[in-house]
Amino acid sequence: MTATLSPELEATLREIFDRRNRANMQPTIDEFLAVLAAHPGDPYVLYEVGGSYDTAGEEETALGYYEQALAAGLAGDPLRRCLLQYGSTLRILGRFDDSLAALDRALAEYPDSDSVRLFHALGLHAAGRSDAAVGELLAFAADRVRTPDVLRYEAALYGNAGYLIGLDEKRGRA
């Protein structure tokens, strides 16, 4: 089931987020927890609580909120951000397979998201799959860096990206 976010709640969440101080996240956490008390089980609020704990360096606590948000029907761009942050947090905690599963889902659902593509490459690297990580970054550069110098080598970048990703795929089957 997909949840919907009312304009009023969206505005409240945005205001809290905009006031946050990355060096002191506790006031933000407290504000989001107060909103959660008024909107128990709301996936959008759960996601914001998780993100606040994550920013505060409390990754284990953040995971539970991310998981609840995902299970409660988070949708749209907040789903993209949640999958990215959840995957990144799992990576930080050394849970590389779980991280890649979350980031694979994000990449499948949001293939045009630059941030998802970059964090997916980070996840591959952390999992010891550096060939695939560099391959994805080369493809990203070829897609997004549109300078004459890079465009001159666009085919070579894509070719090398495909080669490196292919090496990773061969290792996976071996």
**35-93 pLDDT, tens per residue?**
999 999 999 999 999 999 999 999 999 999 999 999 999 999 999 999 999 999 999 99
**121-164 pLDDT, tens per residue?**
999 999 999 999 999 999 999 999 999 999 999 999 999 999 99
Residue 95's pLDDT is 98
Measured CA to CA, the distance from residue 114 to residue 51 in angstroms comes to 19
Task: Name every residue whose Cβ is closer than 8 Å to that of residue 113 and which is 6 or more positions away in sequence.
Answer: 80, 84, 106, 107
Q: What's this model's pTM, rounded to 2 decimal places? A: 0.93
Domain ranges within the chain, ordered by starting residue: 1-74
Give the CATH architecture of domain 1-74: Alpha Horseshoe (1.25)
Across 103-124, average pLDDT: 98
